[in-house]
Amino acid sequence: MLKQAKPTEIQYHTGLSKNIIKGAEYVVLPGDPHRCESIAKAFDPNAIFLADSREHKSYLAHFHGKNILVCSSGLGAPNMGITLEELAVIGLKYFLRIGTCGAIQPFIDLGDIVISTASVRLDGASKDYAPVEYPAVASFDFTLDMIEGAKKAKAPFHTGITASTDTFWQAQERYDSYTGHILRSKRGSTDEWRTLNVLNYEMESSALFVMASVMGLHAACICGVVAKRVESEKISLDTKKGAAKSNWEKVAVEGIYQSMKRRGMVK
């Protein structure tokens, strides 16, 4: 029996309830709380602020006659797990992660969008929901909506497998950490993932995909490229604030519109 929260029941971490989200089925999940307002206003210039609790900041946008929730998840798979659990019990069905990533393939440029079709499970949280043999795959139809949205938005994009890690430095084989030390088992891992046609590194998609699949929900992930790892470990802040931000907002808006259209929610 699936748990459903009472309409007035405020969730402990997100500070949200069924009544507060006003029937929203779609939620956009940036990791960073500071991105929420901009994303919400890309859907609706009059989007309203809902709550600010821990790493979860939320807004409600009115979009083609329906409400869209924007709620930050915080960084990493454990936070994604908490967010997904609390939003599922208040009625959210479609989960779109928006984030940043580091590309590891030479044909992917700064500012491009990576639409993840599946993820390498390098996180720990998803293992509490399903054994390692269980695949971390995006929802097929919802991901196709994002692909169509990227085409409509005329945003440069790539589709494929993402490596989703728990650590930013070690598991992504970054040597610009405090010690600069990487375990022997991680050295050369980026070359190996590149050879296996993995496109990028990020830190939430594997948990999102596994949990959504287990729960019978719908999940997709789009990430803006802010580091081109074949050239440098450095993050381009100009790209993060500029091309990547512009592209992920346009793709999210167009992608969710395509999903709503496919489901007969808009004409």
Please report the DSSP string for the chain in residue order.
Answer: ------TT---TTT---HHHHTT--EEEEESSGGGHHHHHHHH-TT-EEEEEETTEEEEEEEETTEEEEEE---SSHHHHHHHHHHHHTTT--EEEEEEEEEE-STT--TT-EEEEEEEEEE-SGGGGTS-TTS-EE--HHHHHHHHHHHHHHT--EEEEEEEEES-SSTTTT---SSS----GGGTTHHHHHHHTTEEEEESSHHHHHHHHHHHT-EEEEEEEEEEETTT-S---HHHHHTHHHHHHHHHHHHHHHHHHHHTTS--
Domain extent listing, the chain: 18-262
How much is the pTM? Answer: 0.97
Of 3.40.462.40, 3.40.50.300, 3.30.70.250, 3.40.50.1580, the CATH number of 18-262 is 3.40.50.1580
254 given a catalytic annotation:
no
Q: What is the pLDDT of residues 168-226, one digit of tens each?
A: 999 999 999 999 999 999 999 999 999 999 999 999 999 999 999 999 999 999 999 99
Report pLDDT for 185. Answer: 96
pLDDT interval class at 267 (50, 70, 90): confident
187 given a catalytic annotation:
no
Q: What is the pLDDT of residues 225-259, one digit of tens each?
A: 999 999 999 999 999 999 999 999 999 999 999 99
158 given a catalytic annotation:
no
Catalytic residue among 35, 121, 218, 229: 229
Catalytic residue among 35, 56, 158, 174: 174
Q: What is the pLDDT of residues 53-106, one digit of tens each?
A: 999 999 999 999 999 999 999 999 999 999 999 999 999 999 999 999 999 999
